[in-house]
Amino acid sequence: MILLEINNRIIEETLSLKFDGASNGNKPEGLDVTFADFDGVLYHISNPNGEKTKVMVSISLKFYKELQEHGADELLKRIYGDFLVSTEDGYNVSLLYDLDALPANKEEVIHQAGMLKRNCFASVFEKYFKFQEEGKEGEERAVVHYRDDESMYLEAKKDRVTVVFSTVFKDDDDVIIGKVFMQEFKEGRRASHTAPQVLFSHREPPLELKDTDAAVGDNIGYITFVLFPRHTNANARDNTINLIHTFRDYLHYHIKCSKAYIHTRMRAKTSEFLKVLNRARPDAEKKEMKTMSGKTFSR
Amino acid sequence: MELPPCVVDCGTGYTKIGYAGNTEPQFIMPSCIAIREWAGVGDQAQRRLVKGVEDLDFYIGDEAAEKPNYATKWPIRHGMVEDWDLMEKFMEQIIFKYLRAEPEDHSFLMAVLALAASWTSRQVGERTLTGVVIDSGDGVTHAIPVAEGYVIGSCIKHIPIAGRDITFFIQQLLRDREAGIPPEQSLETAKAIKERYCYICPDIVKEFSKFDSDPGKWIKQYHGVNAVTKTDFNVDVGYERFLGPEIFFHPEFANPDFMQPISDIVDEVIQSCPIDVRRPLYKNIVLSGGSTMFRDFGRRVQRDLKRVVDARLKFSEELSGGRLKPKPMEVQVVTHHMQRYAVWFGGSMLASTPEFSQVCHSKKDYDEIGPSICRHNPVFGIMS
């Protein structure tokens, strides 16, 4: 798996199960599941008010307020329409599905439910992509603190949109592997000229952020994506958003896979060394020994 | 809201994963992984060294089942991890693809054989932490005594009969008798028949005569589809229905080296425990694991065990010339509806308690102290 998946399998499987059960005419069972996603996102699927024929899917994102400033509510209303209902206590967005009135396009509805987190994020990107399309420069930079000490900065210019991710490497080894990975990642334009330009800065924020309070530190890295109109135009927009909103998780996933691969190599090398050692063990030869009185014996 | 810990139970046959606080695992998948295998030179370890991103080219669980250019491997045998390379890869996809959890953000609870079993010995309602857990999965069966929350490690006994052995046994019986089953599918057919039609009988002789006298009522039909020719085939399911699971009580049917029935093993386990916990242990025998789900498994274990215990008490009474009358021993086998995922469920309940975060070990501790931190588990000191 090179790219992380965008949809949440647990939502899709749970809803599929319920929808199929309802269309087969089975009486629905009670449901109450709490689970999580990347970036501290929590979901809750339950039966509101104990009504087993209604399934509510709620999501909580710590940074939802910031997304709301950029039009998250409108976008969600556009995509989910009537499924969007007043939010459950403690959560930010709630969708309600009625098992007695199943929608005709079940698969599509389930797929969209699985993309709930992505759709929450999408509004910020769409807004800034539109700015670039309309040539509006000078709009304020968007800041989304999607993790406790990590943020995402978005800025639109006439001919490009810059997205800057700040990320923290909790482990010192991660810093090294991250740097090597980003070194290769930057060179993506060698492989394909459609790739966006990527810049990586370790410790210090890039020039675009020089007037902000962006953090400085040994274990902090900044990754800048420069997206051109070919990435932000209406045709490519959805795909770009899909790929970029989980970039931080993608980076850390690959760092961990690299570590796992290093372990594999370590195991292979260890078994090789063991073989060499075993070959090198001298045979217990029969040695002829003589004592002082002249008796010989062999050990 | 705090992020819930992740609970992972990797068994020989199936892996159950999910988030703590839920009653059921979110995913249950076979513990297999499909990797691209190159028929090259060098041993397995050498062959795993690949270039580029090829090490990420693999599938796990249900997706691993039918991939044409991939070889399916099972990293866990008899409850123990045998191939760590594959196990690491397996965990990669579990964490990032299925659970979608960032390891730095969540605590993880990995179900290790005996420890999780002790939590399942908690009776629903009453919290007694004393009992014997009979945990029977696909690869291995254990009888594990737990006293006051402490797993008496030295008294744990393994039984080499588990789900897979029952499946093999049924496959052999079917092979001798039924001609219609396509050979590549014989194992899956045996497995499906085992899960659907098998049960535990109180007495094999009586069962044989029941089947012989009224075949129409007892012999069932299994319909399968040949994966290659797409034609149907029918299988008669007869004596396998009760002979399969019977190998728990007559292991010599399937395994020439092992003769002791499971009830004897449980009895031995309890007798090897300190004398003061024996009565409570007999009173609370808990079943867990997929292979304990056969109908009437609990009743049969209870009956056989009670026979053994009563015989011993009677013998001691005779030896004392009738002077000592031991109090009759209460033997009780507890079945509950969480049996199949009992271990996972126990882990989920354990991880959702507030004390859990205090007993978790961090990577820093591991780097400092080493693997021995996992050997001692302070969990049960706090739970009382």
CB contact at 8 A, B284 and B123: yes
Residues B287 and B134: their CA atoms lie apart, in Å, by 5
| Strands B14-19 and B27-30, bridge-based pairing | antiparallel
Contact status of B275 with chain A (Cβ, < 8 Å): no
User: Residue A237's domain is classified under what CATH number?
Assistant: 3.30.1460.20
Mean pLDDT of all residues belonging to chain B: 84
**B62 and B96 belong to one structural domain:** yes
Nearest to A253 among B22, B96, B106 (CB): B96
Class of residue A265 by CB neighbours under 10 A (exposed 0-12, middle 13-18, buried 19+) = middle
**A87 and A115 belong to one structural domain:** yes
Tell me if B120 is assigned to some domain: yes
Query: Helix, strand, or coil here: A84?
Result: strand
* Total structural domains within chain A: 2
Band (B321; pLDDT cuts 50, 70, 90): confident
What phi and psi values does residue B348 have, to the nearest 5 degrees? Answer: -65, -45
**B280 and B307 belong to one structural domain:** yes
Contact list in B for residue A38 (CB cut-off 8 A) is 100-102
List pLDDT tens digits, range A99-120.
888 888 889 999 999 999 999 8
Residue of B nearest to A275 (CA): B43
Nearest to A34 among B19, B53, B101 (CB): B19
Residue identified by tokens 């498994």 is B297
The reported pLDDT for the residue numbered A52 is 87
Mean pLDDT of B111-131: 56
Look up residue B73 and give its two tokens. Answer: 């491997």
> Residue A33's domain spans which residues?
9-124
User: Residue B231's domain is classified under what CATH number?
Assistant: 3.90.640.10
The reported pLDDT for the residue numbered B128 is 63
Look up residue A22 and give its two tokens. Answer: 């309802």
DSSP string computed for A241-275: HHHHTTHHHHHHHHHHHHHHHHHHHHHHHHHHHHH
Residues B57 and B228: their CA atoms lie apart, in Å, by 27
The reported pLDDT for the residue numbered B383 is 40
CA distance A167 to chain B (A): 13
Class of residue B232 by CB neighbours under 10 A (exposed 0-12, middle 13-18, buried 19+) = exposed
Q: Which residues pair with B295 in a beta bridge?
A: B199
Residues A139 and A127: their CA atoms lie apart, in Å, by 11
**A159 and A115 belong to one structural domain:** no
Mean pLDDT of A160-187: 89
Look up residue A226 and give its two tokens. Answer: 């420069």
Q: What are the respective helix, strand and coil percentages of chain B, to the nearest 5?
A: 45, 20, 40
Rg over CA atoms, chain B: 23
Residues A86 and A279: their CA atoms lie apart, in Å, by 72
H or E element, residue B288: strand B285-288
Residues 4-43, chain B: which have Cβ within 8 Å of A?
4, 18-19, 21-22, 26-27, 43
**A170 and A243 belong to one structural domain:** yes
List pLDDT tens digits, range B2-33.
789 999 988 888 899 999 989 889 999 999 99
The reported pLDDT for the residue numbered B381 is 45
**B290 and B356 belong to one structural domain:** no
Mean pLDDT of A158-168: 89
Tell me if B44 is assigned to some domain: no
Subunit contact B1:A42, Cβ cutoff 8 A? yes
List pLDDT tens digits, range A211-248.
777 788 888 999 999 998 888 888 888 999 999 988 99
Subunit contact B1:A90, Cβ cutoff 8 A? yes
Indicate the residue type of A74: E
**A81 and A148 belong to one structural domain:** no
**B15 and B106 belong to one structural domain:** yes
List pLDDT tens digits, range B254-312.
888 888 999 999 999 999 999 999 999 998 898 888 898 898 999 999 999 999 999 99
Q: Which residues pair with A57 in a beta bridge?
A: A45, A95
User: Residue B138's domain is classified under what CATH number?
Assistant: 3.30.420.40
Q: Which residue has the higher pLDDT, B129 or A274?
A: A274
**A119 and A142 belong to one structural domain:** no
Q: Which residues pair with B211 in a beta bridge?
A: none
Q: Residue B123 pLDDT > 60, yes or no?
A: no
**B205 and B268 belong to one structural domain:** no
Band (A269; pLDDT cuts 50, 70, 90): very high
Look up residue B357 and give its two tokens. Answer: 């975060």
Q: Which of A91, A124, A157 is the C-terminal boundary of a domain?
A: A124
| Strands B285-288 and B333-334, bridge-based pairing | parallel
The counts of H helices and E strands in chain B are 15, 17
The reported pLDDT for the residue numbered B377 is 60
**B150 and B272 belong to one structural domain:** yes
Look up residue A108 and give its two tokens. Answer: 């599509």
Nearest to B26 among A2, A4, A10 (CB): A10
> Residue B151's domain spans which residues?
115-160+259-334
List pLDDT tens digits, range B161-216.
999 899 999 999 888 887 778 888 888 888 889 989 999 999 989 999 999 998 88
Cα–Cα nearest to A143, from A91, A95, A214, A196: A214
**b/e sequence B197-209, b meaning 16+ C-beta within 10 Å:** bbebbeeeeebee
Residue of A nearest to B43 (CA): A268
**B139 and B227 belong to one structural domain:** no
pTM summary value: 0.84
Cα–Cα nearest to B21, from B3, B38, B37, B34: B3
Contact status of B107 with chain A (Cβ, < 8 Å): no
Indicate the residue type of A83: F
List pLDDT tens digits, range B138-164.
888 989 888 877 778 788 888 889 998
List pLDDT tens digits, range A29-70.
888 999 999 988 999 999 988 888 899 999 999 889 888 888
Residues A207 and B242: their CA atoms lie apart, in Å, by 75
